[in-house]
Amino acid sequence: MIRSHLLKTLLLALPLALIIQPIPVEAQDQWQEVETETHSVERHENAFTRAGDKFYLVGGRGIRPTDIYDPQTETWTQGAPTPIEISHFQAVSHQGLIYVLGGMTGNWPSETPLTHIYIYDPLIDKWTLGPEIPPRRQRGGAGVVVYDDKIYLVCGVVNGHASGWVPWLDEFDPATGRWRELPDAPHARDHFQAAVAGDKLVATGGRLSGYGEGGFGTTFGETDIYDFITGTWETLPSPEGDIPTERAGTAVTAMGDEVVIIGGESGEQIPAHDEVEALNPETGIWRTLPPLQQGRHGTQVIHYGSDLYIQAGSGDRGGGPELNLMERLHIPDADPVEGDPITAGTLKINTEQHDFGQLRPYATAAKTFELSNEGGNQAILITYMILTGSDTFELDFPYPVPYILGPDQTVQFEVTWTPESSDPEQATLLIKRFDRGDQQPLELSLTGNGE
């Protein structure tokens, strides 16, 4: 897994010079500072992601507020802090919610992995504890991507900056709350980010934190690609498929048919890297893009419109200086990525009252109901479903709660009734969505009058 980096550098210097295809800097724009009247909080080991038509700067060392950027007005506003310290993670947005998983909490060097997914609702500016990550698959410093309405967690490290590097690939389905273990990647790595171009997940860069008591110097170059169609991994041929500049702590995003890797840190230099390199996973060809004005690591990059945006991070390897400078690179030939404002849906049930009719004692009747998220483009997080009243009614919801109901989606569940006498009985099913406590639970009245 670990190679002699000095020998590798000497052997690969000439081939890399021929393989990388630089674009003349005069043929495209350079990174530019984005000047704003308001500013975000300085931070590093944070996330930076888009939900709808706004950008969200999340987490980092210490407990930091969620800073919200509006690219239309070029202004920052401040939102709710994360419930706990969350660092070394790649946040993703899906159906109007922001998901945080595969990160760390606690102090260097033995941070612990997050045990649950944390979910942020931009419309109400509130965080909540989501589904549990299976204990045997918990790790931090991992790559996280969304593909075909599912969230994927790849590689990472179990013991903070000390040990426990893993090649795991997991699938989380928000529509069912279920986890699935997929084939391991060819290489374990941490302190990296992943992206999907087409049907390919790209894992490149990163390091093995703490290997042989190493810190920054355990980076390596191999590029692993997972094909969602075939369900298989491949490693690009070395050296031409290796990341041109070995580094960890990179910011990564998809841009059309390419994956762009930005910044990072390594044992080669104290200042954070400013290199920007792009890989086409179909051809295996790398190209260079203009370097950052300010090298940085420990943050994310957003592709929006025809621009790349990067914000925050650390200016040197390690923990500082923390930045709040945003840069933007215009890519004239990039396919534009747009985002509609997030709008909330309405939680509805197909009936508000149901009579199970007459039933003899200890017989059982079952009824199926439909719960739907109507209108809007945001998923609804259901925090609890409980039955009150007679305990002869029983709820059978097929998925774990909290449950995420996607926009314009419907889920079916069953209620059974087993009366113990012929006396009339009733119960109420309460279904609560995640909010600020200003909405009453959805109610379903259930009755049965015996024989």
- Whether the CB-CB separation of 151 and 113 falls below 8 Å is answered with no
Domains and CATH numbers, the chain: 5-330 (2.120.10.80), 346-448 (2.60.40.10)
pLDDT score for 450? 62
**Alpha-carbon torsion 391, 395, 400, 404, what sign?**
negative
pLDDT score for 19? 40
Name, in order, each residue with C-beta under 8 angstroms of 32's C-beta and a sequence gap of 6 or more: 293, 327, 328, 329, 330
Tens digits of per-residue pLDDT, 124-163? 999 999 999 999 999 999 999 999 999 999 999 999 999 9
Residue type, 352: E
Residue type, 331: I
Tens digits of per-residue pLDDT, 295-339? 999 999 999 999 999 999 999 999 889 999 999 999 988 888 989
How distant, in Å, are the alpha carbons of 4, 96, 152, 211, 312 from that of 235?
19, 34, 19, 22, 31
Token representation of residue 57:
């700067």
What mean pLDDT is predicted for residues 330-350?
92
Peptide bond into 341 cis (omega under 30): no
Tens digits of per-residue pLDDT, 424-443? 999 999 999 999 888 899 99
Tens digits of per-residue pLDDT, 85-128? 999 999 999 999 999 999 999 999 889 999 999 999 999 999 99
- Whether the CB-CB separation of 361 and 382 falls below 8 Å is answered with no
Q: What angle do CA 190, 116, 158 make, to 5 degrees?
A: 30
Among residues 308, 295, 357, which one has the least CA distance to residue 337?
A: 308
Residue type, 179: W
pLDDT score for 270? 97
Q: Which residues pair with 194 in a beta bridge?
A: 203
Tens digits of per-residue pLDDT, 248-278? 999 999 999 999 999 999 999 999 999 999 9
379 pLDDT higher than 90: yes
Q: What is the Cα–Cα distance from 312 to 317, expressed in whole angstroms? A: 14
The neighbour count for residue 133, using CB atoms within 10 Å, is 20
The whole-chain average pLDDT of the chain stands at 92
DSSP 31: -
Provide the pLDDT confidence category of residue 451 given band limits of 50, 70 and 90.
Answer: low
Token representation of residue 98:
């922001």
Token representation of residue 196:
């999907």
pLDDT score for 12? 39
Q: Which residues pair with 163 in a beta bridge?
A: 159
Provide the pLDDT confidence category of residue 213 given band limits of 50, 70 and 90.
Answer: low
8 pLDDT higher than 70: no
Q: What is the Cα–Cα distance from 57 to 67, expressed in whole angstroms? A: 5
What mean pLDDT is predicted for residues 185-212?
96
Q: What is the Cα–Cα distance from 165 to 226, expressed in whole angstroms? A: 18
pLDDT score for 3? 38
Token representation of residue 351:
């009936």
- Whether the CB-CB separation of 45 and 82 falls below 8 Å is answered with no
- Inter-residue long-range contacts of 155-158, CB under 8 Å, 24+ positions, other chains counted: 155/185, 155/187, 155/188, 155/189, 155/190, 155/192, 155/194, 155/203, 155/206, 156/102, 156/113, 156/190, 157/190, 157/191, 157/208, 157/209, 158/113
Peptide bond into 441 cis (omega under 30): no
- Whether the CB-CB separation of 260 and 276 falls below 8 Å is answered with yes
Name, in order, each residue with C-beta under 8 angstroms of 185's C-beta and a sequence gap of 6 or more: 154, 155, 167, 168, 169, 203, 224, 226, 233
Q: Which residues pair with 5 in a beta bridge?
A: none
Among residues 19, 22, 143, 158, which one has the least CA distance to residue 91?
A: 143
pLDDT score for 26? 39
What mean pLDDT is predicted for residues 169-188?
97
pLDDT score for 138? 98
State how beta strands 116-121 and 126-132 pair.
Answer: antiparallel
Share of the chain above pLDDT 70, in %: 93
pLDDT score for 22? 43
pLDDT score for 28? 54
What mean pLDDT is predicted for residues 219-236?
97
pLDDT score for 353? 84
195 pLDDT higher than 70: yes
**Alpha-carbon torsion 64, 66, 70, 75, what sign?**
negative
Q: What is the Cα–Cα distance from 307 to 421, expressed in whole angstroms? A: 68
Name, in order, each residue with C-beta under 8 angstroms of 357's C-beta and a sequence gap of 6 or more: 365, 448, 449
Q: What angle do CA 91, 174, 47 make, to 5 degrees?
A: 5
13 pLDDT higher than 50: no
Tens digits of per-residue pLDDT, 17-52? 334 444 443 345 899 999 998 999 999 999 999 999
